[in-house]
């Protein structure tokens, strides 16, 4: 059953916020992020309409809000597994919910000029340029519309060598804070939110997704969660080395054979999560562990955000769909 509540993040939350604003109950930003303000507004709405004021938008409240409509599950949950995994890892990486995480944007804080996209491709290592070239080639009308008067500059930037690309990136950001300046900030974010650019991002993340599914076979795990976990490992940690692999296999061999299938899967995922986290740089072990365990168990808090994989991302403890 779909419920939108505190910490939910989805375009559907934006619809709820817009509706509450029309009713004069909500005055905050339409940011698709279900926070305390949205919750208070929902409670007020529920009281006014004779519903139990629990601050959660379930089928009844949705029905009352939108006059008879059936509640919709987040659109994200109907996407392909690759897209959902990318959205989840992207959300961890950029600290924003989808679809904003596909437009993650950072300046030259790390000497790489400019990092953009769900997996923070950058100019310095030359990983971002192919994506920008591709979107410009496949959707010329889109890039022309978004960059408008700045399109010639965008095009010229793609044509020069990396030194001058880095120089360009530094000329459009604040040297002290490494924040991109307008209009480039807004234009790139807009580009990142378009389905066309997200398709390009998905294409460039495809190889990592393949690696993740291969890893699932190696460790004999089969669920959607397992793919999400392996994908997150390939993005954040690169891979699993031989020593960690041996540790994981020993942990898994020690598991009770009588466990039901689903519990066995979760136990295996937790072993992978813990062992991989412990192999990280000491400073980041707990950070990595929280993130990986949130995937393994399906719920958790990462960087101050609450995650519920099944409800928010449609990543469940069920076999991968082909």
Partner 1 sequence: MVAFATVMVPLAKAFGLAVVAERILELGKNLLEPRLSSRDTRAQPDAAATRRAVADVQARAQRDAATRAAEQAAEQRAPERSTQSAQLHSVRDRLFTESDPAKRAALLKQAGDLSAALTVEERHGEWEERVPTSVLLVQDASDPDDGWTLRSFVLQLLGFAAGILLASFADLRLFSAFLTGGGGGGGSAELPGWVDHVFTGLFIGGGSGPVHTLIEFVTARRTIVQAAELTVAETAADKAFVTSSPPEVATWDGGWVDVPYAGGVDVDLLQSVHRRDADPTIIVYHHTGMSSDSTFDDVVRVIKSGTDGSGQPWLTGYHCVILADGSAHAFCRWDRYGSHAAGFNLRSLGLGFNGNFETNPSVPFANPDGRYGATRPTEPQLRAGARVAALWTFLYRVPVDFERGIIPHRQIAGKSCAGSNFPYDDFKKLVTFYRRTWEQSALAQERITAFKLKPYLYV
- 159 part of the interface to partner 1, by CB under 8 A: yes
- Count the site residues for partner 1 by CB under 8 A: 20
- 152 part of the interface to partner 1, by CB under 8 A: yes
Give the range of 57-65, 147-155, 209-217, 244-252 binding partner 1 by CB under 8 A: 147-155
Structure tokens at 143: 């890039």
- 253 part of the interface to partner 1, by CB under 8 A: no
- Dihedral sign (CA 139, 144, 146, 152): positive
User: Closest distance between partner 1 and the C-beta of residue 52, in Å?
Assistant: 55
User: Closest distance between partner 1 and the C-beta of residue 108, in Å?
Assistant: 8
Task: For the beta carbon of residue 52, count every other beta carbon within 10 angstroms.
Answer: 12
Region 65-124 residues binding partner 1, contact defined as CB under 8 A = 108
Structure tokens at 255: 């598991």
Contact partners, residue 100, CB within 8 Å, separation at least 6: 32, 94, 189, 193
User: Closest distance between partner 1 and the C-beta of residue 95, in Å?
Assistant: 25
Which DSSP category does 69 fall into?
Answer: P
User: Closest distance between partner 1 and the C-beta of residue 162, in Å?
Assistant: 8
One residue of 163, 182, 256, 321 binding partner 1 per CB under 8 A: 163
- 6 part of the interface to partner 1, by CB under 8 A: no
Closest CA to 51 of 65, 69, 36: 65
Nearer to partner 1, 48 or 175 (CB): 175
- 212 part of the interface to partner 1, by CB under 8 A: no
Give the range of 29-37, 88-96, 152-160, 265-273 binding partner 1 by CB under 8 A: 152-160
Give the range of 6-14, 145-153, 241-249, 302-310 binding partner 1 by CB under 8 A: 145-153
Give the range of 81-89, 167-175, 267-275, 303-311 binding partner 1 by CB under 8 A: 167-175
HSE on the CB side for 225, CA within 13 Å?
Answer: 26
Task: For the beta carbon of residue 260, count every other beta carbon within 10 angstroms.
Answer: 8
Return the bridge partners of 106, or none. Answer: 115
* 157 phi/psi in degrees, rounded to 5: -60, -40
DSSP string for 157-197: HHHS-HHHHHHHHHHTB-TTT-PBPTTHHHHHHHHHHSHHH
Closest CA to 229 of 209, 202, 253: 209
- 156 part of the interface to partner 1, by CB under 8 A: yes
- 185 part of the interface to partner 1, by CB under 8 A: no
Nearer to partner 1, 187 or 212 (CB): 187
Residues at the contact surface with partner 1, assessed by CB under 8 A: 108, 149-150, 152-153, 155-157, 159-164, 166-168, 170-171, 175
């Amino acid at each position: 059953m779909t419920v939108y509540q505190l910490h939910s993040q989805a375009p559907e939350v934006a619809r709820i916020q817009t509706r509450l604003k029309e009713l004069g109950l909500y005055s905050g930003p339409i940011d698709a992020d279900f926070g305390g303000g949205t919750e208070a507004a929902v409670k007020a709405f529920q009281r006014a309409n004779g519903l139990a004021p629990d601050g959660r938008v379930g089928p009844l409240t949705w029905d009352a809000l939108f006059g008879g409509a059936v509640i919709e599950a987040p659109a994200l949950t109907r996407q392909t597994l690759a897209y959902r995994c990318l959205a989840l890892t992207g959300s961890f990486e950029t600290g924003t919910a989808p679809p904003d995480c596909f437009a993650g944007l950072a300046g030259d804080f790390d000497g790489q000029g400019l990092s953009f996209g769900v997996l923070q491709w950058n100019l310095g290592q030359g990983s971002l340029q192919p994506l920008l070239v591709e979107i410009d080639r496949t959707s010329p009308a889109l890039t022309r519309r978004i960059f408008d008067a700045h399109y010639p500059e965008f095009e010229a930037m793609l044509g020069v060598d990396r030194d001058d690309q880095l120089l360009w990136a530094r000329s459009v950001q604040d040297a002290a804070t490494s924040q991109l300046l307008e209009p480039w900030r807004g234009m790139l974010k807009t580009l990142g939110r378009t389905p066309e650019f997200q398709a390009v991002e998905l294409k460039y993340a495809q190889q990592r997704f393949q690696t993740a599914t291969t890893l699932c076979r190696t460790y004999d795990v089969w669920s959607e969660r397992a793919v999400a976990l392996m994908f997150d490992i390939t993005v954040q940690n690169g891979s699993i080395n031989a020593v960690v692999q041996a540790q994981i296999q020993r942990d898994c061999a020690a598991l009770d054979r009588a466990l039901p299938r689903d519990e066995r899967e979760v136990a295996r995922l937790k072993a992978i999560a813990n062992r991989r986290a412990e192999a990280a740089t000491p400073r980041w072990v707990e950070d990595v562990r929280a993130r990986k365990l949130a995937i393994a168990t399906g719920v958790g808090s990462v960087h101050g955000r609450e995650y519920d994989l099944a409800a928010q991302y449609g990543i469940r403890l069920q076999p991968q769909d082909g």
